[in-house]
Amino acid sequence: MTADTCHQPGLLSVDQARAQLQLSIAPLSETESLPLELACGRVLAAPARSRLDLPTCDNSAMDGYALCGEAPYVVVGKSLAGHPYRASLNSGECVRITTGAALPDGADRVVMQEQAQLQAGQLLLNKATKAGDHVRYRGEDVRAGDMLLECGRRLGVPDIALLAAAGVGAVTVVRRVRAALLSVGDELRPLDTAPEALGIGDIYDSNRIALKATLQQLGLEIIDLGCLPDQPAAIRDALAQARDRADIIISSGGVSVGEADFTRAVLEELGQLELWRLAIKPGKPFAFGRLPKQNGETLFFGLPGNPVSALVTLYQLVLPALEKLQGVSAEKCQPPFTSRARLLNPIRKSPGRTDFQRGYTYRDDDGIQVVKSTGIQGSHILSGFAEANCFIVLPQHSGNCETGDWVTVEPFRKPLI
């Protein structure tokens, strides 16, 4: 088997890197109060409790009739959502009732309208009923004062719905992370450059655009520092400026060992380097460090310059670290969901690095989860990434895979989808 040319002693595994990042990052302590409708995606910094019982009263789960006692029944009124029947029912009385309407005093069950019929002023039942049928009881979901959501929870739409129903109009959340974003490379050009104006070897600064789109989905406050040349002084000035304005700095390019790769060296001048060169493919030249400042420190994440490598390392390493910084509870900062799928094509791999190949997974006609590679797997090939819906995760010390082998797949989740 051909040796992996990037397999070198001392490379940190992906799992080790994730664990080290989780241990070395402290959540932000500053908070803010937000109206509930603006809080989706934010992380709770104070527990949320219900202000009332849910449901707020005994009510009907169906359109039908609320009954009291035993048949025969006489219809004496109606109870509609927002317009309850105010009197108490006596045995043998019933009211027309709609879904969600309050159950009158004395009623203990509801018969569906399809199972009853009015005849000569009386309600006749087509089916026997018992106490509790189609009744939603006060407080059966939530009681006033109950803890609804604890600190460290990233609020989703169901959470917002629950809090709104429980009368919670505002929540305390961790403030937004301030992220400075920059690209490094003499060959990079802005998107408004005409193709014919590109020099030999020039490329568009796609990494910064893709990284910015990612971070915007995560609700970060972005400080866009643009594209820098391969000049230590320019990089030093940008990092010093970003250090004082941001909680984190995310750069792409300049962290490898090339003649013009200066970002890592500048980082070590201004602060300290804690992680560099991981056993991950694509993306070995990933850097993590700290830049001390007057009121604390700014975290630095240096991503590779190849576009696929930048996105893979952002997704696999930076996003879990960001969740920790945002205050997401420890049990939620876990490795992403994976499953098993049968491989539809052979994959060449040498031991040495965990490989995150881009794939497309689906269930075949027999209901079996299958996966296939999407295009060439080079770290510069974005078309295959765009066609993919998952990573095919090949363990660090594994080798080639053949058609029919079972492999681990990690379906894409936000913000890649």
**CATH number of residue 373's parent domain:** 2.40.340.10
For the record, the structure tokens of 10 come out as 């001392």
Report the alpha-carbon angle 7-12-15, nearest 5: 120
CA–CA separation, 250 and 254 (whole Å): 12
- The answer to whether residues 232 and 320 belong to one domain is yes
Q: Is the distance from CB of 387 to CB of 374 less than 8 angstroms?
A: yes
By the 10 Å C-beta count (0-12 exposed, 13-18 middle, 19+ buried), 219 is classed as middle
Q: Give the CATH number, domain containing residue 262.
A: 3.40.980.10
Handedness of CA 233, 235, 238, 240 (dihedral sign): negative
| Number of neighbours of residue 163 by Cβ within 10 angstroms | 23
Residues ≥6 apart with Cβ < 8 Å to 341: 361, 369, 370, 371, 406, 407, 409
- The answer to whether residues 185 and 83 belong to one domain is no
In a domain, 2, yes or no: no
Token pair 């970003």 is at which residue? 242
- The answer to whether residues 156 and 190 belong to one domain is no
Burial code of 49-70, b = ≥16 C-beta within 10 A, e = fewer? bbeebbbeebbbebbbbbbbee
- The answer to whether residues 170 and 268 belong to one domain is no
- The answer to whether residues 104 and 169 belong to one domain is no
In a domain, 307, yes or no: yes
In a domain, 1, yes or no: no
In a domain, 8, yes or no: no
- The Cα-based distances of 304 to 22, 188, 271 in angstroms read 21, 14, 19
- The answer to whether residues 328 and 388 belong to one domain is no
Last residue of a domain, one of 301, 332, 363: 332
Range of the domain at 359: 339-411
Handedness of CA 391, 397, 399, 405 (dihedral sign): negative
In a domain, 234, yes or no: yes
- The answer to whether residues 302 and 359 belong to one domain is no
Residues ≥6 apart with Cβ < 8 Å to 161: none
Last residue of a domain, one of 300, 332, 364: 332
Token pair 């301030």 is at which residue? 178
Q: Give the CATH number, domain containing residue 164.
A: 3.90.105.10
In a domain, 226, yes or no: yes
In a domain, 24, yes or no: yes
- The answer to whether residues 76 and 221 belong to one domain is no
Strands 178-184 vs 248-252: parallel, antiparallel or unpaired: parallel
Q: Is the distance from CB of 262 to CB of 336 less than 8 angstroms?
A: no
- The answer to whether residues 180 and 280 belong to one domain is yes
In a domain, 399, yes or no: yes
- The answer to whether residues 154 and 108 belong to one domain is no
- The answer to whether residues 85 and 216 belong to one domain is no
- The answer to whether residues 66 and 130 belong to one domain is yes
* Adjacency order of strands within the sheet including 272-276: 221-228, 178-184, 248-252, 296-303, 287-293, 272-276
The one-digit pLDDT tens for each residue of the chain (417 residues) are 334 444 455 689 999 999 999 999 999 999 999 999 999 999 999 999 999 999 999 999 999 999 999 989 999 999 999 999 999 999 999 999 999 999 999 999 999 999 999 998 799 999 999 999 999 999 999 999 999 999 999 999 999 999 999 999 999 999 999 999 999 999 999 999 999 999 999 999 999 999 999 999 988 999 999 999 989 999 999 999 999 999 999 999 877 655 446 888 888 899 998 888 899 999 888 999 999 998 899 999 999 999 999 999 999 999 999 999 999 987 777 778 899 999 999 999 999 999 999 999 999 999 999 999 998 998 988 999 999 999 999 999 999 999 999 999 999 988 876
Structural domains in the chain (count) = 4
